Amino acid sequence: MEARFRGKAALVAGGTGGLGQAVSLGFLKEGASVHVTYRSEAEYARVKDEAGQSAGSLIGHRADATDEKETADLVRKIGAIDIVVNAVGAYAGGTPLWETAVETFDRMMALNLRSGFVLARCAVPILLRQGSGVFINIASRAAMDHAAGAGAYVASKAAALAMMDSLAADLKGTGVRVNTILPGIIDTGANRKAMPDADFAKWPKPEKIAEVILFLSSEASSLIHGAAVPVYGAN
Ligand SMILES: NC(=O)c1ccc[n+]([C@@H]2O[C@H](COP(=O)([O-])OP(=O)(O)OC[C@H]3O[C@@H](n4cnc5c(N)ncnc54)[C@H](OP(=O)(O)O)[C@@H]3O)[C@@H](O)[C@H]2O)c1
């Protein structure tokens, strides 16, 4: 097993979620100390259990990634951070825009857009002080493909993508890299439950997407900055 991240500290916001968990476990396997935000104690306990022998390098923080004060306190507490992955997000769809509740719109903006803004605001200054680091934001294929029935979701993901593009321009020449990941439907437990009749074999596994995220966090991807990387295979 390679240990590309030995001595590195990663913060995975939403690191106990369907994708976040695979990312957290991937970093742990390769030697990083991994800080995850969680909301449910049970979810965190499950990931800690999955981490097995590496569990000692997994540190959980109950925090709301859309709340600036909580996130600033969290980042201050962690201290040195080399890699930030924002895997916080949520989906809402199934209604045309005019029937979408204002609360749904606000929730999409908070979880899919504001989380990345707050994390960048709190963590990028640390990466800049070090003169190195990686920030990866998970957007969605829907940031580019604007299907019907998901106006608030696609708007939040398209805005998140644009925001990271601008952040990449801000970070030019600093040694800090930022990239966006664009998943389609991922083979998570939640998706299987929501779409029981779908062909699960067609959906990328979280672990395969985590491999791409680990690559983008590694030295081997030092030339990749400001990219939006599709991770939905040839589907
Ligand atoms: N799953 C897909 O098919 C798919 C497709 C395209 C894009 N994506 C994107 O990929 C990312 C990960 O998706 P996923 O399927 O892993 O979602 P998920 O399983 O719902 O995980 C999201 C994680 O974020 C946490 N979270 C929610 N609100 C938070 C907050 N305010 N502060 C801190 N953490 C919070 C959740 O905690 P709780 O569980 O406690 O709420 C959960 O751990 C998201 O950005 C999603 O939009 C997913």
234: helix, coil or strand?
coil
Are 167 and 178 spatial neighbours (Cβ–Cβ below 8 Å)?
Answer: yes
Nearest CA to ligand 1 atom 38: 39
Q: What DSSP string describes 210-232?
A: HHHHHHHHSGGGTT--S-EEE-S
The verdict on whether 153 is a catalytic residue reads yes
What span, in angstroms and rounded, lies between the C-alpha atoms of 212 and 205?
12
Give pLDDT, residue 1: 65
What span, in angstroms and rounded, lies between the C-alpha atoms of 112 and 123?
17
87 ligand 1 Cβ < 6 A: yes
Query: How is the beta sheet containing 83-86 ordered, strand by strand?
Result: 58-62, 33-38, 9-13, 83-86, 133-138, 176-182, 228-230
12 ligand 1 Cβ < 6 A: no
The residue ranges of every structural domain in the chain are 9-230
17 ligand 1 Cβ < 6 A: yes
Give pLDDT, residue 234: 86
> Residues of 131-155 as b/e, b for ≥16 C-beta within 10 angstroms?
eebbbbbbbbbbbeeeeeebbbbbb
187: helix, coil or strand?
coil
Are 76 and 51 spatial neighbours (Cβ–Cβ below 8 Å)?
Answer: no
Are 168 and 115 spatial neighbours (Cβ–Cβ below 8 Å)?
Answer: no
Are 13 and 87 spatial neighbours (Cβ–Cβ below 8 Å)?
Answer: yes
13: helix, coil or strand?
strand
Atom of ligand 1 nearest to the CA of 138: 45
Q: Which CATH class is domain 9-230?
A: alpha beta
Give pLDDT, residue 2: 77
pLDDT tens-digit profile of 174-187? 999 999 999 999 99
Q: Which segments in the chain show pLDDT lower than 70?
A: 1
| C-alpha 40 – ligand 1 centre gap (Å) | 12
